[in-house]
Amino acid sequence: AAERRRLEQERAAAARRRLQQEEAAATKIQASYRGFKDRQAFNERKRSSQIFTRSSSIGSTSYPDSSNTTQEETLRLKQEPTTSIDSSASSILSIKYQRKRARSNLSTHSKTQETVVTEPF
């Protein structure tokens, strides 16, 4: 009788240990998955903002701005054969500039409200 009781206690203890291990593993998996999802969302946000800055910079470089060029200049620009190397290089440069500007904007926004001094005009 004592032998059987001891065996049952050992079985119950083993089952309890296994359950605790499974629970710990499940919480660890869930926590790592949550971290993974957060990283995914962050990467998505970063990617979409890059696409936006790229498209805006490409739009600004691909067309000569008609507001600040004279009629003769636009005619000359239209007649000149445009080299694809030139335009792609300028768009890459503007992408880099856009990224830098976006980064500096982010850094100014991240400061706390107390540090920003608002003076009446």
Domain ranges of the chain: 2-106
Q: 91: which residues sit within 8 A by CB, 6+ positions away?
A: 57, 58, 61, 62
Amino acid at 98: Q
The answer on pLDDT for 75 being more than 90 is no
pLDDT at residue number 16 = 96
- CB-based contacts of 50, cutoff 8 Å, min separation 6: 99
Which of the pair, 57 or 11, is modelled with greater confidence? Answer: 11
Please check whether residue 78 is in contact with residue 104, taking contact to mean a CB–CB distance below 8 angstroms: no
How much is the pLDDT for 91?
56
Q: How many CB atoms lie within 10 A of CB 117?
A: 5
Coil, helix or strand at residue 80: coil
User: Per-residue pLDDT for 19 more than 90?
Assistant: yes
Whether 21 has a pLDDT exceeding 80, the answer reads yes
How big, in percent rounded to 5, are the helix, strand and coil portions of the chain? 80, 0, 20
Write out the two tokens for 68.
Answer: 């600040």
Express each pLDDT in 25-67 by its tens digit. 888 888 787 778 887 777 777 766 666 665 555 555 445 444 5
